Each structure stands twice: as C-alpha cells, then as structure tokens.
Amino acid sequence: MPEHPMPDPPAAPTPVTGGEALVRALAAHGVTRAFGIPGTHNLEIYRHLAAYRIDHLGPRHEQGAGYAADAYARVCGQPGVAITTTGPALLNIAAAVGQAYSDSVPLLVVSPGMPLRHPRQSTGLLHEMRSQTEALRGVAAVSHRVSSAEEIGVAVARAFTLFRTRRPRPVHIEIPLDLLTAVEPAGPVRTAPPSCPATADPDALAAAGEA
C-alpha cells in the first residue's frame, strides 16, 4: 500500500510587537480608519497603521478625536476607533466617551499605560496616573488593562463581540508600555463572531399589531 504523506508541520507563530498585534487585530475586524494624536508612548501603534491599510486622521485635541470617531460610527455604521497617549491625553477624550455611552455608540479607545512592573506609587514617570483604567471605567461600558501581549488580540475581539452582540457602548483598552514594544510570537488573530440581526416571529408581530 502507498504510504500516506506526512502533513506539513504547522507554521511557527510570527514574532510581532504588541503595537503590531494591536493594529493587525483592528485590521482583522475591518477597521480602516482611526482618529487620534501621536505621542511619546503610542508611537509603536502608529508605526504599523500604514502597513495594515488603516488611515489616520489627527485632530487638534483628543476630545475632537473622540467625537470624530463617534461621528464616524454613527454615519458609517462601523465602530469608531480612537488612539490616545497616556495620562492627560486619555482624560481629554473622556467627555466623548461619556457621550458615546449615553447615546449607545460603539467607540473603541486604545491607550498606552504605565509598564507592567511600574510600582503603585508616585515615581515621576511621564504621564503617570494612579489608574487610567479606573478613570475610564466611570464613563465607558468596559475599561480593561491587558497583562500580556497575547491578551491584546483577545481584548480587541472582546470589544467587537460586545459591539455586535450587546447594546453598543464605548470600550477602553489600556496596553502597558512594555507590552507595546515587546516582541513575542503571535498565533492567528482572534476575531469576534459576525453580527446576527435579530428577527421577530411574524405571528408575534401580527399579535402585537392587533393589540
């Protein structure tokens, strides 16, 4: 009997930075445009936007970026994406996030954060805050700080899952600085399930109409 050929071994995961892991996850979910302002801590994100064909529009202020992403979501029917840097820049966008929550707009805000091993005390690090995650949790539906490079793609998929399956409201993802620049092997991009529009039972609609 002829021998069966051995299957090819699975391809090894490709090493990418945390910044590229984020951008490729956004691209995998159909993101083609982002709003924001480059800053010292988020350059590793901006470095990869063009390679994944994500256009960037930069307003004069982060609050403008938030409202622009909000308007994009309302007009285009796709989640709006805004990128800020740490500290004051993230707080600048909080007003737009709060409005998106009030109006049920799918808005994804991504920001860098203090490194994973940053101590829980004031050390004078640039744009140091007590907790960016907690600050945004007061105005967003979800504010999540990832703790590993692998978790970046998972967090993006979770955000888009929430947009597609629940009442759409803003989500904030914080990525520690050291994870943005760390190079780690990354497997396939995780994606959110496709949205399934709810359909009503025709008999139930008829009964409601009669009532």
Q: State phi, psi for 102 to the nearest 5 degrees.
A: -60, -35
Q: Rounded to two decimals, what is the model's pTM?
A: 0.84
On whether residue 154 sits in a domain, the answer given is: yes
Contacts of 103 (CB under 8 A, 6+ apart): 70
pLDDT band at 164 (very low <50, low <70, confident <90, very high): very high
Single out the residue of 47, 60, 59, 91 nearest to residue 80, CA to CA: 59
Is the pLDDT score of 8 beyond 60?
Answer: no
Q: Which of 44-48, 62-66, 180-184, 189-193 has the lowest average pLDDT?
A: 189-193
Q: State phi, psi for 57 to the nearest 5 degrees.
A: -120, 125
On whether residue 92 sits in a domain, the answer given is: yes
Give the domain extent around 147: 14-210
Single out the residue of 136, 198, 153 nearest to residue 19, CA to CA: 153
On whether residue 122 sits in a domain, the answer given is: yes
Is the pLDDT score of 186 beyond 90?
Answer: no
On whether residue 7 sits in a domain, the answer given is: no
On whether residue 1 sits in a domain, the answer given is: no
pLDDT at position 12 is 58
pLDDT at position 204 is 86
pLDDT band at 197 (very low <50, low <70, confident <90, very high): low
Higher pLDDT, 36 or 149: 36
- For the chain, what percentages of helix, strand and coil (3-state, to nearest 5) are there? 40, 15, 45
Lookup: tokens for 176: 């520690």
pLDDT at position 105 is 97
CATH number at 100 reads 3.40.50.970
Q: How many domains does the chain have?
A: 1
DSSP 162: H
On whether residue 193 sits in a domain, the answer given is: yes
Q: How many CB atoms lie within 10 A of CB 74?
A: 14
End-to-end CA, the chain? 72
Q: CA dist 97 to 112, 129, 148, 166, Å?
A: 17, 19, 25, 17
pLDDT at position 126 is 78
Q: CA dist 208 to 110, 197, 203, 211, Å?
A: 43, 20, 9, 5
Report the percent of the chain where pLDDT is more than 70.
90
pLDDT band at 14 (very low <50, low <70, confident <90, very high): confident
On whether residue 4 sits in a domain, the answer given is: no
Q: Which of 142-146, 197-201, 202-206 has the lowest average pLDDT?
A: 197-201
On whether residue 6 sits in a domain, the answer given is: no
In a 10 Å sphere around its CB, with 0-12 CB exposed, 13-18 middle and 19+ buried, how is residue 47 labelled? middle
